[in-house]
Chains A and B, each alone.
Chain A
Amino acid sequence: MSPTTLLITAATLPDGSHTDILVEHGTITELGARLSRAGATTVDGDGLQALPGLVDLHTHLREPGFEQSETVLTGSRAAAIGGFTAVHAMANTSPVADTAGVVEQVHSLGEQHGYVTVRPIGAVTMGLAGTQLSEIGAMAGSRAGVTVFSDDGKCVADALLMRRALEYVKTFDGVIAQHAQEPRLTEGAQMNEGALSGELGLRGWPAVAEEAIIARDVLLAHHVGARLHICHLSTAGSVEVIRWAKARGIAVTAEVTPHHLLLTEELARSYDPRFKVNPPLRRDEDVQALRTALADGTIDIVATDHAPHPMESKECAWDEASFGMVGLESALSVVQLAMVDSGLIGWADVARVLSTTPARIGRLAGYSDPFAVGAPAQFTLVDPSARREFAVGQLHGKGVNSPYLGRTLPGRVVATVHDGYATVLDGELVDAATVAQNARVHRG
């Protein structure tokens, strides 16, 4: 007996066609017009855009160790309300996710809560210390099945270690996700280096510190024939390097965050730490270059870099504040604003950059052909015509460090379906007990 039978009527698929969607036993069982099923929970999809379940390749869930900032449960809820059905949890927890034990714990917490698939990312180096490889094989072979490895928050700066890591993960069909930041060039860095940082007296984070590492690493990946993924690419120069690498056939993929597609360094003028993030907000020229690159495929995906922090980490002077912004709840709206409403891409492209391609990079099964009979039911329904005043009430994780508070954002997630059951209905999260129960039934 399936936990739920869902019938979505007259939704618009990413390719623009309209269809009813019947979901039974965790699977899409019928597509077509005027479907019906007795006892099904029905969602009126008229005017709603259906998208495959969004997949975030870059989330900070903070558990274990920093539960005052976020937990697997609260982060999962933030993800579901944002339209996500899978997130990749970064390794910079405490203890660091550098052993099979930690990644299995995070993975099973995700299963237990059931809002999204939680896929742990393993640390590249022990304790993120950048000196010794972590137990990559053990994490890959664990129940968590880790495929993405990253020291995110820190750059794998040692060239030899990076080379070895790229080579070693080939063994497990894994990928290294590099946080590209030359550490010596960015000591004490606070914001983008340029005319504005000089005026504000904030220590600069030069674009070259990102671009130099990306250039080095695409050459290393080419040399050893490995896959490489670049986290949160933020500069026009980085786009040029990636474009060059792809033209040479190097197996590199790149992500951009929603905030780097919309916001610029000018926001630092307020000294409001909500706008302090790493890599920093850049110039308008960079934002335009990132948008173009995402539209033409040079940048493969959008990933949130959802980074919740407790209040006190942002209620202070800029230099003293933590880097990071929450992003799961706003990501789709920001992509709609920056990319869709501006005419640069369509909804099929949104499905590609926020679901299909991140799933492929992370080797996450079930996302290659999302709206087909027999496909696992992972999708979200969005009302693109909605406009919402973005406020704290729309944040469902623990962090309220959103740069969009007070802005009007387009689009609203009406429903999210994960493993065939609803995690969001009528624009509201389904309660945790129901979701956990449905997840249990789904696992069998």
Chain B
Amino acid sequence: MRHLLSTKGIDRATAVGILDVAEDMADVATREVKKLPTLRGKTVINLFFEDSTRTRTSFELAAKRLSADLVTFSAKGSSVSKGESLKDTAQTLAAMGADAVVIRHSASGAAHVLAQSGWIDAAILNAGDGTHEHPTQALLDAYTMRKRLHGVASRGRDLDGLRVTIVGDILHSRVARSNVWLLEALGASVTLVAPATLLPSDLSTWPVTYGYSFDAALDQSPDVVMMLRIQAERMSAAFFPNAREYAREWGLDDERLDRLRADTMVMHPGPMNRGLEISARAADSPRSTVLEQVANGVSIRMAVLYLLLSGEREADQ
């Protein structure tokens, strides 16, 4: 891999390969010394134009467990907030000898622009670009699903036949987009559920089925229910009337939780709005994978950094 910009276009073998490397990385976390010397001497820069404590921390831990030198370059309080352009920032990091740049940016495509610009030669790892993609989130979600399904026998397996329902603000969700493409590659089938205002206006090219009714989707007894965070500002922009109505129609409340099979997974990329898109009981139930997702996130990010930085870098993607 040259860069990791999106999950669109990743084939099944590559996806399974990444998940398998993550299995090896997860083993490291169980050791007394949680560290590998693999990326000693490599410099990883966390370039965060948007605040995201969780994702940033996860990448930091991943890089450190692989013995890379890691620097976090946060936009807040730096030259970036004083009007420095993405180009100047990128060229600065290149001059400092970055081997990999983990970028989180509010603009869709920012990671692509960085990778294609010629401003910097480093491996570019998309840690969330606007409302486009968040590929490591989708990878850790897939890893979590596979682990719940197959446990220690996960290596080499895909997600063939798994039925995943994703509920919430699909229109603005980079998590949903990355999951749609990756789950398709791994053989799962995806159903999207949201009010019509929060679905993209044309889904004809997406490999999904979709509907407006959460209850109707639950009637299909999905294997995975993935709840997306709902942003308060969507209410003021008239996407839905208020939080009460949203929770009633599209929230995973206790009643809906009780309709799920015992082995249905309840997923959430975090941070959660308890009482809005997910009830406290649902979030804390044995069905919930929320904390596994966080733990697996470190393994996935170790795997991706390892694949991008160890050995010979491919000439192109």
B85 within 8 A of A: yes
Q: Quick one: which of B86, B107, B203 contacts A198, CB cutoff 8 A?
A: B203
Given A201-B108, A201-B131, A271-B109: A317 touches B86 (CB 8 Å cut-off)? yes
CB contacts under 8 Å to A, within B57-110, are: 85-87, 105-110
B239 within 8 A of A: no
CB contacts under 8 Å to B, within A189-220, are: 190, 193-204, 206
Q: State whether B201 touches A206 (Cβ < 8 A).
A: yes
The residue among B107, B174, B177 with the most chain A CB atoms within 10 A of its own CB is: B107
At the interface, is chain B mostly helix, strand, loop or mixed? loop
* Chain A residues positioned under 8 Å from B184 (CB to CB): none
* Chain B residues positioned under 8 Å from A312 (CB to CB): 85, 87
Q: State whether B109 touches A202 (Cβ < 8 A).
A: yes
Q: Quick one: which of A199, A201, A202, A318 contacts B205, CB cutoff 8 A?
A: A199
Given A199-B177, A316-B86, A318-B113: A194 touches B107 (CB 8 Å cut-off)? no
B130 within 8 A of A: yes
Given A270-B116, A315-B85: A195 touches B108 (CB 8 Å cut-off)? no
A271 to B113, CA, bound (A): 7
Q: State whether A201 touches B202 (Cβ < 8 A).
A: no
The chain A residue with its CB closest to the CB of B173 is A201
A198 to B117, CA, bound (A): 24
A346 to B8, CA, bound (A): 44
* Chain A residues positioned under 8 Å from B171 (CB to CB): 198
* Chain B residues positioned under 8 Å from A203 (CB to CB): 131
Q: State whether A201 touches B132 (Cβ < 8 A).
A: yes
Q: State whether A320 touches B107 (Cβ < 8 A).
A: yes
A32 to B169, CA, bound (A): 71
Q: State whether A317 touches B107 (Cβ < 8 A).
A: yes
How far is the CB of A329 from the nearest CB of chain B, in Å? 25
Q: State whether B107 touches A318 (Cβ < 8 A).
A: yes
Q: State whether A316 touches B177 (Cβ < 8 A).
A: no
Q: State whether B201 touches A317 (Cβ < 8 A).
A: no
Q: State whether A319 touches B202 (Cβ < 8 A).
A: no
* Chain B residues positioned under 8 Å from A320 (CB to CB): 86, 107
* Chain A residues positioned under 8 Å from B109 (CB to CB): 200-202, 271, 317-319
* Chain B residues positioned under 8 Å from A206 (CB to CB): 201
Q: Quick one: which of B113, B117, B177, B205 contacts A195, CB cutoff 8 A?
A: B205
Q: Quick one: which of A194, A200, A270 contacts B132, CB cutoff 8 A?
A: A200
A193 to B112, CA, bound (A): 21
B200 within 8 A of A: yes
* Chain A residues positioned under 8 Å from B202 (CB to CB): 194-195, 198
A195 to B85, CA, bound (A): 30
CB contacts under 8 Å to B, within A172-202, are: 190, 193-202
30 A-B pairs (CB sep. < 8 Å) = A190-B108, A193-B201, A195-B204, A197-B201, A198-B171, A198-B200, A198-B202, A199-B8, A199-B206, A200-B109, A201-B108, A201-B109, A201-B130, A202-B108, A202-B109, A202-B132, A203-B131, A204-B201, A270-B116, A271-B108, A312-B87, A315-B85, A315-B87, A316-B86, A316-B87, A316-B113, A317-B110, A318-B108, A319-B106, A319-B109
Interface residues, chain B, with chain A CB atoms under 8 Å away: 8, 85-87, 105-110, 112-113, 116-117, 129-133, 171, 174, 177, 200-206
Interface residues, chain A, with chain B CB atoms under 8 Å away: 190, 193-204, 206, 270-272, 312, 315-320
**Which A-B residue pairs are the 7 nearest by beta carbons?**
A198-B200, A271-B109, A201-B132, A317-B107, A201-B131, A319-B107, A201-B108
